Amino acid sequence: MADLLQRPSLAELSAVEPWDAVIIGGGITGAGIALEAARRKLKVLVLEQRDFSWGTSSRSSKMVHGGLRYIAQGDVKLTRHALQERERMLVELPDLVVRMPYIFPIRQGKFPGRWAMTAVLKLYDALAGIRDHRWMNRDAVLKAYPALKADGLQGAMRYTDALTDDSRLVIRVLQEATLEGAVARNYTEVLSVQPHASGSTLRLRDADTGEAHEIRARRVFNATGLWADRLSGTPPVVRPQRGTHLFVATERLPVQDCLTIMHPDDGRPVFVFPWKDQTCIGTTDLDHRDDFNTEPHCSSAEIDYLLKVANSEMPQLQLSRRDILSTMAGVRPIIASGKGRDPSKERRDHLVWQSGGVISVSGGKLTTFRQIALDALKAAGVIDAASHKRAHQDRQRRCFTHQVAAPHGLNNPLGGMARGAALTEQVAWILRHEMVQHLDDLMLRRLRAGVLLADAGASQLPLIKTLCESHLGWDEARWQAECQRYQHVINSSYRLG
């Protein structure tokens, strides 16, 4: 099969004169723009300053969903678009986007009650074109979840949304884009964008070697998420908001569905759901004021907050910090309303704007990446208003048309890590086809060992070392440097201090 994500040299990028579209940012937004642009036969280049999905797109709540709370906020349009895209991905990527039951316990005297939830879920299902909600009585809920607090429990509403592996979804979109002719390169910093009459000149630098080159582009898309304000050339619009998740062994917190529980302090919904043979609790919603270039990490207060909501609904489990396998903090690029709202009340719409020859896009949801891409291409003049409308409304048009021969089980978000021969096959395929440059790329974003395993994957490193030597040409000095780098990231951002 053809190579998928193979890393070109900067000199090779400079030789293309010019690129039709250069996309800065290798998260889900940039990947989506690349796919839609390449599908329209443009010469497309994606540049990412770290690893693909290093930022928000590997640290989300893993949900492909419409968002019930957006209906409550009056944003029915966003919910409809998201649900349409959810249904599309469930059909086209069945191993990567998996339908999941969501259980919402209803308690006496607590908002929302049964009938309010029923009304919202009828609309939710109607927007998705399905009917997939029902009432569970108290006995059925307690039979499924005996650890739930029985006091005041009336029953639960059951509906469905979907789960994914967000980082693997980004890789899959990039793979689709490269099969359409796009080129991508990670660990490549864009130092400057200089507009001129026929487009822009970009100054690039390899983040690892320091090598620098210039390239030319007819169009430049700024899809850098949190960093969008730095390249947009306009006043800031992004409000960074941190969301933290805890991973707990499934033996300590067994769930087979996604439980939606309300925090006793502020009434926010928090999810408890199975993910790759462990259980995830999340998320928080706080303004993030740390340096964007530093790997985010959760605060002690966030850990207490998430443990409190789990223990308030399942007090007999008595979860504590000793039960936490790992933490994961991500920062969402929310478009600021300027109204001083509580972080949880900010809308999740995306924004596309232009200045100085750069089309910037930020905000939005993982689920609606295709719709965001179409909006960006319309702003750039790649598609006209009529084509944009047709593409938005066409529910039959496939987004993923190519087959990718990844090892079996590589994508399934509900499956855990492979072992033995299957792990060897999986890692070898990733090293050949997914542009791994550092050990943390492999362990945190391609395999997820850093968050799934109690030892952060240390027990697998002898096997992985052999494969990295074979496929990446690493010598002993490089391997030791990569292990030191990986351990630093784990200790500073994924483990309790």
Residue 183 sits in the same domain as residue 223: yes
Res. 408 pLDDT band, cuts 50 70 90: confident
Q: For position 171, which CATH number holds? A: 3.50.50.60
185 and 311 part of one domain: no
- Would the pLDDT of 2 be above 60? no
Bridge partners of residue 355, in order along the sequence: 358
Does residue 146 sit within a domain? no
From 335, 360, 377, the end of a domain falls on 335
Distance, CA of 234 to CA of 237 (rounded, Å): 8
User: Do residue 306 and residue 438 come from a single domain?
Assistant: no
Number of separate domains in the chain = 3
> What pLDDT is stored for residue 1 in this prediction?
37
User: Average pLDDT over the chain, rounded to whole?
Assistant: 95
Sequence-distant (≥ 6) Cβ neighbours of residue 106 within 8 angstroms: 112, 113, 114, 117, 153, 154, 155, 156, 157
Is the same domain home to 41 and 176? yes
> Residue 180 falls within a domain, yes or no?
yes
State the pLDDT at residue 3. Answer: 60
Single residue among 335, 358, 374 that ends a domain in this structure? 335
Residue 151 within a domain? no
Secondary structure in 3-state letters for 331-373: EEEEECCCCCCCHHHCCCCEEEEEECCEEEEEECCHHHHHHHH
DSSP 8-state secondary structure symbol assigned to residue 5: B
The answer to whether 382 touches 325, Cβ cutoff 8 Å, is no
Please check whether residues 309 and 185 belong to one and the same domain: no
Residue 265 sits in a domain of what CATH number? 3.30.9.10
- The share of the chain scoring above pLDDT 90, in percent, equals 87
Report the distance separating Cα 183 and Cα 22, nearest Å: 10
220 shares a domain with 244:
no
Three-point CA angle 108, 110, 113, nearest 5°: 80
Considering the domain architecture, whether residues 181 and 229 belong to the same structural domain is answered as yes
pLDDT tens digits for 113-150?
A: 999 999 999 999 999 999 999 999 999 999 999 999 99
For residues 300 and 429, state if they share a domain.
no
pLDDT digits (tens, 9 = 90+) for 26-52: 999 999 999 999 999 999 999 999 999
246, 327 in Cβ contact below 8 A?
yes
Mean pLDDT in residue range 366-393: 95
Element (H, E) at 228: helix 228-232
186 and 327 assigned to the same domain: no
Mind listing the pLDDT tens digit for each residue in 83-103?
Answer: 999 999 999 999 999 999 999
Answer yes or no: do 293 and 436 share one domain: no
Residue 425 shares a structural domain with residue 459? yes
User: Residue 264: which domain range?
Assistant: 238-335
Nearest CA among 428, 415, 440, 438 for reference residue 492: 440
In a domain, 228, yes or no: yes
Q: Closest by alpha carbon to 295, among 82, 103, 445, 123? A: 445
pLDDT band at 290 (very low <50, low <70, confident <90, very high): very high
User: What pLDDT was estimated at residue 497?
Assistant: 60
Order of all β-strands in the sheet with 220-222: 183-185, 44-47, 21-24, 220-222, 358-363, 350-355
Q: Which of 293, 308, 335 is the last residue of a domain?
A: 335
